[in-house]
Structures are given as C-alpha cells and as structure tokens.
Amino acid sequence: MLDHTPAILALAIIAAFMVGLSKGGLPSVGAAAVPLLALVMSPVTAAALLLPVFVASDMVGLYLYRRHFSRRNLAILTPASIIGVGIGWYFSASLSSAFIGFIVGMVGLLFVLNAWFGGRFRTQKKEADVPRGLFWGAITGFTSFVSHTGAPPFQMYVLPQQLDKLTFAGTTTVLFAIVNAVKLIPYWQLGQFSQIDTTLMLWLVPVSILGTVAGRRLTGIIPEWLFFRLIQIALLLLSLKLVADYVISLL
C-alpha cells in the first residue's frame, strides 16, 4: 500500500487533473500522467492506479462530446486498438515498458518535427483510410495498454486529416473511453490492481472529473491554431520524456 506522503498526494492530484483535461479535449496532457506519477512510484503501480481514474473521467467526456466525433475514424480505429490491447496483454511479460515508450517517443518526435519543419515536403491533407488506420490503431491500443501513452500514435494518424478541433477532441475521447474499458479485463487478470490504494484512487476520481469539465471549456475557447500547437508541444515534451527514460534505463 502506498504511503500518503505530501509528494505522492500532490503528484497524484496533478496527474488525475491532467487525466481529466485529456478527456475534456486536450489529449496529450493525460499521456504525461503516468510518467509524472512514476517519479514517486513504479510505472506499473502508477498505470494501475490511474486506469480507474481514466475510466471514470471517460464517462464525463463521453457525455460532453456525444455529438462531436468522426464515425469513420472510430469504425476503423476501435477494432484495431482492441487488437493492440490484446497484443500488449499477450506480450506484457516479455516487453519492457521503457522500450515501448522509446518507440512511441521517437514516433512522436518525428511527427512534431515534420509538422513544424517539413511543410514543403507535405502534400494535401490525408483522409481516414483503412490500412493506415489499422496500423496506427493497433499501435495506439498496444502503447495505451503498456503505459497509457496511446495519444502519440493516434495523433500520427488523425492530425493529418485536419479535423476541426471539437471533432478531433471528441473522436479522441470516444476511442480512448472504449480502449480504457477494455483494458480493465487484462489489468485485472494480470493482478495489477492488487497493490493499488483504493482510498487514494477514490479521492482522485472527482479531481479527474473537474479536470474533464475544465478541459472541455478550454477546448471550446482556445483558438483552433493554438489548440493544435499546444497538442504538438505537449506531444514533443512527452516524447522527449519517453526517450530520456529509456536512455537513462540503459545507463
């Protein structure tokens, strides 16, 4: 059982609020929650503690974005992401979460660099298509299962479609609500909930719900260009953190 030290409580509250912000429409923010909590506990414990918080805030996010999402993207990404969760479940005992984080981080870095500096090499926007969607959807489910970092591969597929910000945010919310609900089964089967602090988790749920409402309001008032630039910056910072974690683990 976790000690309720000031550091753990403070970071847990911040992480839960970040989870809520992501469900309210700022997706990359929530992906940093597990790395943040991993500063004071093991990444496995952090992921297990936050998964019920993700699921609870998902319910609010689904209501807030019930009219804003891309049906085609969800039709392609949902089955692919569930397959990715299954792959993560199958290989969970043999793959290092730090290595998976490294791969996700490198993909995220390449995406941001291309978005900022590769304009002259890019063509017109890309539409949602099945082959790319199945590939990135599977990676999304896989990395989401390992460390709740499904946002970067999801964004690699969806951001080039240039959806409006509410449709983008709503599609993100609906997809990850489904993925997180599916993840409850393998997390339970692997015994990852056995060591979590239930009392702390219950305190974090209302914090995440407040964050969800705040994230929805921010999404509605932030200019569209700033909205996506903030996502790219958050993705850059998260990707750098994931790469750095893996390099440090090798030292």
Domain boundaries, given as residue ranges, for the chain: 6-250
**Percentage of the chain exceeding pLDDT 90:** 30
Average pLDDT, the chain: 85
Buried b (16+ CB within 10 A) or exposed e, 12-42: bbbbbbbbbbbbbbbbbbbbbbbbbbbebbe
The residue whose two tokens read 């709740």 is 148
Percent with pLDDT over 70 in the chain = 94
pLDDT at residue 139, rounded to an integer = 93
Q: What's the whole-number mean pLDDT along residues 163-182? A: 92
Q: What is the C-alpha separation between 48 and 136, in angstroms, rounded?
A: 24
Mean pLDDT of 134-139: 95
